[in-house]
Amino acid sequence: MASALNCWIICSAMLLLQSGGLFSEKLRTLKVSDWWGKAGFYQIYPRSFKDSNGDGVGDLNGITEKLPYLKSIGVKAFWLSPIYKSPMADFGYDISDFRDIQPEYGTMTDFDRMVTRAKALGLKIILDFVPNHSSDEHEWFLKSENRTAGYEDYYVWHDGIPGNNPLQNDPPNNWVENFRGSAWRWSAKRKQYYLHQFHYKQPDLNYRNEKVVNEMKDVLRFWLGKGVDGFRVDAVPWLFEVADFRNEPVSNLTSNPLSPEYLVHIYTQDLPETVDMVYQWREVMDDYKTKNGGDTRLLMTEAWSNLSVVANYFQDSNKKQGSHMPFNFQLILRLNQMSKAADFKTVIDSWLDIVPGGHTPNWVLGNHDRRRVASRMGGEHMVDLMAMVELTMPGVSVTYQGEELGMTDANLSWEQTKDPAACQTSEAEYTKYTRDPSRTPFHWGNSSLAGFTNGTKTWLPVAANYQTVNVQAEQTASKSHLKVFQELMKLRDSSDFYENQYGTVVLGTNVLAIVRVDCKGVYVTLLNIANATETINAEEAITRLNITKTYEKSRVLVASVSSKRSIGDTLQLHEVVLQPYEGLVLRSGATLLFARVLYILATITIQRLFS
């Protein structure tokens, strides 16, 4: 009873201080109200996760086989890059049947078996929903190209404008695709251009056609009926383009008119209709739960847009709900190996500032389109530090396969390159555009081909360091990135790691402190983002957040691979020596200065009475 009373007094004092505007640093409050707000998500790139039949390509049965691994590292849900039937021009993002499985990945029976196994393990399943385009081999496109009744306007068609060629008009405007080149492709059969904002084999669906809108909603309902727990929505910003097809303005960032950076994409991306479409999909999710019961079906949206745009996906001015989880890509877009601790705080706070009250923040470190964390941030010494940011900040984490091991990008030759974004360039510049280095097969062990397959080849080469960076090696090592990741995930599951107050503080130039406080004490994450020893006073972080407790010894809960400390070690917060690139997560219990708290409460009360 006394402990509960003390806890109430402390928390009341903290809230009064915060509401009184006396904090020198911003202290925020996290409340979690749904299963996904407590979840660690894991992205699987199916081609590269686990091959079960020896053909060198990952598949559904391989995923099912390895689901216990996901359970063991503490994730609660996984999302799959596209597994739908596809000619594989863009490795599954060119879909020829939204309701069937790509044969090299398996069958619908295999999918059902995977769902059953995942449910048995308590894992949620998220599918990649690719609404912007289909394959040019999809039945819908073939019918549209032939002007079959009811399908004429399923895609974005245009006559083009008269030019020098009497047999074929010029493209309608200056729009360029995301993979470089004109966004328009001539159909000799239909005698019109179709829009493709990605590969020419990925024609854009026409969302100004209500039939298309309803068709794609039915696709969502189909997979929800198969037991899927939600969707990650691909390439959201490109859903709509202006109806009058006007030219986009030139950016002056490059002189190459075929480069996507040549234009400012104000007429082909981030239109208001796009936001509304996301809200309509949210209604599908909510309606399905209402009719069928069970947990919330989750909507996660991919938009690499400015924060002012991404903010619109959460909710509108009337608090109508949109995406449960607009992906936070700020850790990818704005941090690199040159970043200082202040940059980390700026990036973190800029995201938190757009998350509306009642919504949960999320943290994404990487995906199949970007360089891996270790390669992007300058080496494996940053792997644990980035994981500590992702997993000790409040909210949802999204981890791309292999990041928990510290996997790095592979060096692939021009001959080994498969990514269409690179293959459409040249040998001289393909390395600028290829996404293949982060898509190489997962490292399960140090046997031939990293234990990814029992065959003799893999669809992309295995990275050269697989013999030391793999699950088997890191599970048996005394210290490893995998073990750090697992400890962090266990910490996230502890009952007092939710619904608390938190803040970030920069200590000196190179140390970022993440502080999370509850009525029992504080968690302090200390990250030395420098190749130099740093001596800091960690109590300063607590003081600057005006937390009304004092702390004596702190206990190490998690230590980075680079740290010489072990779990359970104790240290004094007022003087902490951090080795280069050392990261620590500490737990400190409170020594309550009861009289001091009562004094603060009385002082605040008196001030308010006489103000």
Annotated catalytic residues are 234, 302
| Cα–Cα distance, 474 to 493 (Å, whole number) | 22
CA 610 to chain centroid, in Å, comes to: 50
| Cα–Cα distance, 263 to 254 (Å, whole number) | 9
For helices 594-610 and 2-19, give the axis angle rounded to 10 degrees: 40
Say which residues have a Cβ less than 8 Å from residue 353's Cβ, sequence separation at least 6. Answer: none
Positions of E strands within 259-406? 298-301, 325-326, 362-364, 396-400
- Decide if 309 contacts 266 (C-beta within 8 A): no
| Cα–Cα distance, 367 to 373 (Å, whole number) | 9
Please state whether 123 falls in left (phi above 0), alpha (psi between -120 and 50) or beta: beta
Say which residues have a Cβ less than 8 Å from residue 432's Cβ, sequence separation at least 6. Answer: 425
| Cα–Cα distance, 100 to 85 (Å, whole number) | 6
| Cα–Cα distance, 119 to 444 (Å, whole number) | 23
- Decide if 197 contacts 268 (C-beta within 8 A): yes
Q: Which residue has the tokens 């104790």?
A: 570
Q: What separation in angstroms does the CA of 201 have from each of 72, 94, 227, 318, 369?
A: 40, 7, 30, 40, 19
Amino acid at site 192: Q
| Cα–Cα distance, 58 to 443 (Å, whole number) | 12
**How many other CB atoms are there within 10 angstroms of residue 173's CB atom?**
23
Q: What separation in angstroms does the CA of 321 have from each of 270, 356, 421, 456?
A: 18, 11, 35, 50
- Decide if 363 contacts 390 (C-beta within 8 A): yes
Measure the CA dihedral 171/176/181/186, to 10°: -30
Per DSSP, the residues of 530-576 read SSS-EEE-THHHHHHTT-S-EE-EEEEEEE-TT-S--TT-EEETTSE
Strand partners, 362: 396
Measure the CA dihedral 303/307/313/318, to 10°: -170
Q: Which of 299, 131, 324 is nearest to 231 (CA)?
A: 299
Amino acid at site 242: V
DSSP 3-state of 233: strand
Q: Radius of gyration (Cα) for the chain, nearest Å?
A: 26
Exposure string (b/e) for 281-319, b if CB count within 10 Å is 16 or more?
Answer: bbebbeebeeeeeeebbbbbbbbbbeeebbbbbbbeeee
DSSP 3-state of 518: strand
